[in-house]
Amino acid sequence: MIPYGRQIIDQADIDAVTEVLTSDFLTQGPAVPRFEEAVKTATGAPHAVAANSATSALHIACMALDLGPGDTLWTVPNTFVASANVGLYCGATVDFVDIDPDTYLMSADALEAKLAKNPPPKVLIPVHFAGQTCDMERISGLAKAHGIRIIEDASHSIGATYKDTPVGACQFSDVAVFSFHPVKIVTTAEGGCATTQDAALARRMGLHRSHGVTRDPDLMTRQEGGWYYEQVTMGYNYRMTELQAALGVSQMQKLPEFINARHRIRARYDDLLAELPLVRPYQSPDGRSALHLYPIQVEDRARVFAHLRENGIGVNVHYIPVHLQPIYAAMGFKRGDFPNAERYYSRAISLPLHPGLTEADQDRVVKVLAMALQT
């Protein structure tokens, strides 16, 4: 099976992880700060807080923005469930903004229309689907006008740029969150990282990541001795291990190379698929995608998908609209609520796209796909 995505691990990665195993620290040592430095360098953000997943990073970002019961979080239906679930973790109400039918990203028009008819949410999570950046200039303009805080779900986007600025610099948001799951652009096995320009937000995310516990005299009510710490807010154990961070530091050195490879493969798909009856993925002129996914749209998706899978092509579908998941349907969401996300979903297939995909692999994907589309 040719997978739709997978990691690339080389000897340098193996050496980096092995070195940690015989060092003094398996957790809470120097590797996590080094990884955070690497993310700061890549994004230009002054602060980075690594966590054990992007989901955890989204959760601590919501907590740092004081999202709680009585508040509302809006995201898009065309995302992984985690972008919405973090609102529920905080006891907030979750609602959705439909996508643009051409870009598959949050529609600024739909956001504007929804804001005209509803009280604004406390937190908005636009999702940089497939590695392409949402229309952040317009979205942040609307958010500012309504006092909304923005967390970019940049899980697909480490290494991407938007209007010549790296995604994660947070020029148009409060926080950006990256995922380092093995199918994403670079990996720490499991892992995530939040970036921000706001030192206070970074400090709060750091507390929520680790039990809400601190030894910082400025944050504590008193001092009882060298052993003393205080829990000053609610927190979880969302820490990244040293092994993961060391892998991440090593992987981050290959980020430009991985993204260039993805662009080469994307350009080749664009050529090879030009004559087939399908819609190739939108490429935004506003920046350079990290190209996490290559989602095509076809008629008769179920049959085409099954044909590809039966012939060893590990295609996938991104995403089943979150509002149609049973847990969200039970809250009252239903088919027809977000028609652009639903229509896109009904035709979408993500083709294999990762730096290890050979030209022979790619030719096979295209051949099997062409056969499926002809029958």
Ligand X SMILES: *Cc1c(COP(=O)(O)O)cnc(C)c1O
Residues of this chain that interact with ligand X (CB under 6 A) are: 53-55, 79-80, 82-83, 127, 153, 155-156, 179, 181, 192
Q: Which is nearer to ligand X, 118 or 237 (CB)?
A: 237
Q: Which is nearer to ligand X, 238 or 372 (CB)?
A: 238
Q: Which is nearer to ligand X, 105 or 261 (CB)?
A: 105
CA distance 203 to 157: 24
**Shortest distance, position 271 Cβ to ligand X, whole Å:** 27
**Shortest distance, position 355 Cβ to ligand X, whole Å:** 18
Q: Which is nearer to ligand X, 307 or 318 (CB)?
A: 318
Rg of the Cα atoms in the chain: 21
Q: Which is nearer to ligand X, 45 or 54 (CB)?
A: 54
Q: Which is nearer to ligand X, 60 or 372 (CB)?
A: 60
Q: Which is nearer to ligand X, 311 or 325 (CB)?
A: 325
**Shortest distance, position 57 Cβ to ligand X, whole Å:** 8
**Shortest distance, position 133 Cβ to ligand X, whole Å:** 13
Q: Tokens 């049973």 label which residue? A: 326
**Shortest distance, position 210 Cβ to ligand X, whole Å:** 17
Q: Which is nearer to ligand X, 82 or 142 (CB)?
A: 82
**Shortest distance, position 191 Cβ to ligand X, whole Å:** 7
**Shortest distance, position 138 Cβ to ligand X, whole Å:** 20
Output the 3-class SS for the chain.
CEECCCCCCCHHHHHHHHHHHCCCCCECCCHHHHHHHHHHHHHCCCEEEEECCHHHHHHHHHHHCCCCCCCEEEECCCCCCHHHHHHHHCCCEEEECCECCCCCCECHHHHHHHHHHCCCCCEEECECHHHCCCCHHHHHHHHHHHCCEEEEECCCCCCCEECCEECCCCCCCCEEEEECCCCCCCCCCCCEEEEECCHHHHHHHHHHHECCEECCCCCCCCCCCCCCCEECCCCCECCCEHHHHHHHHHHHCCHHHHHHHHHHHHHHHHHHCCCCCCECCCCCCCEECCCCCEEEECCCHHHHHHHHHHCCEECECCCCCHHHCHHHHCCCCCCCCCHHHHHHHHHEEEECCCCCCCHHHHHHHHHHHHHHHHC
Name 351's bridge partners: 294
CA distance 18 to 22: 7
**Shortest distance, position 261 Cβ to ligand X, whole Å:** 20
Q: Which is nearer to ligand X, 61 or 372 (CB)?
A: 61
**Shortest distance, position 82 Cβ to ligand X, whole Å:** 4
